[in-house]
Amino acid sequence: MTKLTQIAAAAILAVAGLNAVHADEAQIRKSLAEKMRGTQIGAITKTPYAGLYEVVANGLNVFYTDDKGEIAVIGKLIDLKAGKDVSEQRTQELHTVDFAALPLDKAIVHVKGNGSRKLAVFSDPECPFCQQLEKELAGITDATIYTFLFPIPELHPDAERKAQLVWCAKDRSKAWNDLMLSGKEPTDGSKCDTPLKEISDLAQKLWITGTPGMIFSNGKLVPGSMPTKEIEKLLGLAARS
């Protein structure tokens, strides 16, 4: 067999292998769609481990399945030879956002101290966990906090009205702090155009389905609230990365 023939044969095998993988992915997607109704199936990728395929579910979660999509392996996949947690590494990748691409002009801006560190927060004005987070953020220094108003009417029917009042207030930052820390609604707001729809669409794109959701300047996405000490730690790590 000539060298040219060998190259041609290798190319044919590669194409055949690629077609087989695509066929497997189609079968897996069809099977999972039938068996896991309500779950949004994203990327399906063949792994180098035991013939398993990685499946991204609901944008941020990872599990593994066979080439027919008949089983679900949920938990950590550890590469013992390389000494790495494959699942954790992939999950961290999925929980990373391009901070520079966030539409910061659609956020309420709070500057603390020199404002050098950056943090974006998706928050619902009626969410009790968001109110708790605001108490923790009150102790943060030297940071600029961008608050994206993300009311979720299904959970908090009056949240959208309050979000509009805050956005239309003369001093949005003060209006937000008064509402979240003291329960005092703005009285100087009038009807105006708000970015609530755009923010809701953005949250959906980023797979932020609940509040609060924090995004640090290194792109790390953290759902839920956390103590001031932990926020400070992550702000420091993000500033150094």
> Residue 68 pLDDT more than 60?
yes
Q: What is the pLDDT of residue 6?
A: 46
Q: What's the number of domains the chain is made of?
A: 2
222 neighbors 213 (Cβ within 8 angstroms): yes
Query: pTM for the full model?
Result: 0.77
For residues 219, 225, 229 and 233, what is the CA-based torsion angle, rounded to 10 degrees? -10
129 neighbors 224 (Cβ within 8 angstroms): yes
pLDDT band at 3 (very low <50, low <70, confident <90, very high): low
Query: Which domain covers residue 10, as residue numbers?
Result: 3-94
Distances in whole angstroms, Cα of residue 162 to Cα of each of 3, 54, 150, 187, 214: 72, 42, 11, 11, 21
pLDDT band at 13 (very low <50, low <70, confident <90, very high): very low
At which of 56, 79, 94 does a domain end? Answer: 94
Q: Are residues 77 and 157 in the same domain?
A: no
The CATH number of whichever domain residue 27 belongs to comes to: 3.10.450.70
Q: What is the mean pLDDT of residues 68-89?
A: 93
Half-sphere exposure of 153 (CA within 13 A, CB side): 6
User: pLDDT digit string (tens) for 140-196?
Assistant: 999 999 999 999 999 999 999 999 999 999 999 999 999 999 999 998 867 899 999
Q: What is the pLDDT of residue 8?
A: 39
Q: Are residues 65 and 114 in the same domain?
A: no
According to DSSP, the residues that pair with 216 across neighbouring strands are 119
The CATH number of whichever domain residue 213 belongs to comes to: 3.40.30.10
Counts of helices then strands in the chain (DSSP H, E): 7, 10
User: pLDDT digit string (tens) for 200-227?
Assistant: 999 999 999 899 999 999 999 999 999 9
Return the number of other C-beta atoms located less than 10 Å from residue 146's C-beta.
Answer: 20
The number of angstroms, rounded, from the C-alpha of 94 to the middle of its chain's C-alpha atoms is 7
User: pLDDT digit string (tens) for 110-136?
Assistant: 999 999 999 999 999 999 999 999 999
Q: Are residues 73 and 172 in the same domain?
A: no
Q: Are residues 22 and 90 in the same domain?
A: yes
Q: Are residues 108 and 224 in the same domain?
A: yes
At which of 94, 126, 141 does a domain end? Answer: 94
Q: Are residues 81 and 121 in the same domain?
A: no
Two tokens, residue 113 = 């101290």
> Residue 84 pLDDT more than 70?
yes
At which of 94, 117, 152 does a domain end? Answer: 94
Quickly list H helices, 51-137: 86-94, 128-137
